[in-house]
Amino acid sequence: MKHLLSVDDLGSRAEIEEMLDLTESFVEVTRREIPKVPALRGRVIVSLFYEDSTRTRLSFETAAKRLSADVMTFSVSTSSVRKGESLRDTVQTIEAMGVHGIVVRHGAAGAAHRVASWSQASVINAGDGRHEHPTQALLDAFTLRTHRGPSLDGCRVAIVGDIRNSRVARSDVKIFHTLGCQLTLVGPPTLMPERLDGWPVRVAHDLDDVLADVDVVYMLRIQRERISQALFPSEREYAHRYGLNAQRMARCKPDTLVMHPGPMNRGVEISGEVADSARSLITEQVTNGVAVRMAVLWKLLGSGGPIV
């Protein structure tokens, strides 16, 4: 595997499960007193983030450093991008300095694919527009498996919120479906994709109808900008119709789990009480993100990676 641009690059169900099993080795490393191995010593990894992100960028940088790779951060706000330098020139400048891996987050769908075409390095898509966020999907699948067991066959997952604008939803639908889950997308019609042909999902517009029959409720962040686009009337109404609060949790089965990619709008799509409850996997998702990204970096640059 040379690049991770989309969940499709992870391969078949067996290959995805192999990647998730590989992640266990890295979880063990992160629990050591000295959580570092020399596996990627001498490799250079650049994180190229055109969009703000705290957790994803830090997660990748931590993962790279735990593998003893050298990490450079390209932060758009202090770069020549402000002088009008194009993405292509930026990539070629980085390339000229010698780089083995590039982690890209960009507002345009397909940006990571373009970077891969301009560079010899391995490219990881950390989010491209509304398109995909494959490492988020991996860490979500990994986290769920630690609770539900290695097989997710028949696991019923509801993804709730702004599906239309969510790259997390698109990647999660792919990975959860491949691993055997049954998927339901829930949200107001204005926040659903224009067309869902070929998506292996059911759609519901009433969250309360769905709650009693699911094993996992996956909440997406609602962006306040969507209010000004008149996609829903107000935050309060959204929270009332689609927010996961304690009363709604009481309608779920006692072992239903709660997930969220973060960052959360407490009180809007999810109440603080639910976010902090024992059934919430949210902090584990973040913790597992480092180990998952270590596994991805290892797979691309270490084990079967290009001969250096």
Partner 1 sequence: MPVRPARTNLSDSPAEPALRTRVFDAADLRRAVTRIAHEIVERNHGADDVVLVGMYTRGVALAQRIVAAIASFETVAVPLGTLDVAFYRDDIGLRPVAPLGPTEVPDISGHVVVLVDDVLFTGRTARAALDALTELGRPRAVQLAVLVDRGHRELPIRADYVGKNLPTKIAEDVRVRFAEVDGGADAVELWSSAGSTSPERAGET
55 in catalytic set:
yes
Catalytic residue among 2, 55, 65, 113: 55
Q: According to CB under 8 A, which residues from 67 to 86 bind partner 1?
A: 67
Structure token digits, residue 247 = 């009363």
Least distance (Å) from partner 1 to the CB of residue 67? 8
106 is catalytic: no
CA distance 68 to 298: 11
Smallest gap, in angstroms, from Cβ of residue 223 to partner 1? 40
Q: Is 240 a catalytic residue?
A: no
Active site annotation includes 248: no
Does the protein bind partner 1 through residue 24 (CB under 8 A)? yes
What stretch of H or E contains 27? helix 13-30
Which residues fall within 8 angstroms of residue 86, CB to CB, at 6 or more apart?
A: none
Decide if 56 is catalytic: yes
- Determine the interface stretch with partner 1 among 19-27, 159-167, 219-227, 266-274 (rule: CB under 8 A): 19-27
CA distances from 87 to 160, 175, 266 (A): 33, 29, 35
- Provide the token pair at 4: 């991770």
15 is a contact residue toward partner 1 (CB under 8 A): no
CB 118 within 8 A of CB 146: no
| CA of residue 168 relative to chain centroid, distance | 5
Candidate residues 1, 37, 72, 227; the one interacting with partner 1 per rule CB under 8 A: 37
Tell whether residue 227 is a contact of partner 1 (CB under 8 A).
Answer: no
Nearest CA among 271, 186, 192, 201 for reference residue 231: 192
Give least dist CB 258 to partner 1, A. Answer: 29
- Token pair recorded at residue 245: 């609060």
1 versus 81: smaller Cβ distance to partner 1: 1
Can you give the binding site for partner 1, defined by CB under 8 A?
Answer: 22, 24-25, 28-29, 32-34, 36-40, 67, 298, 301-308
What are the residue numbers of the active site?
55-56, 83, 105, 133
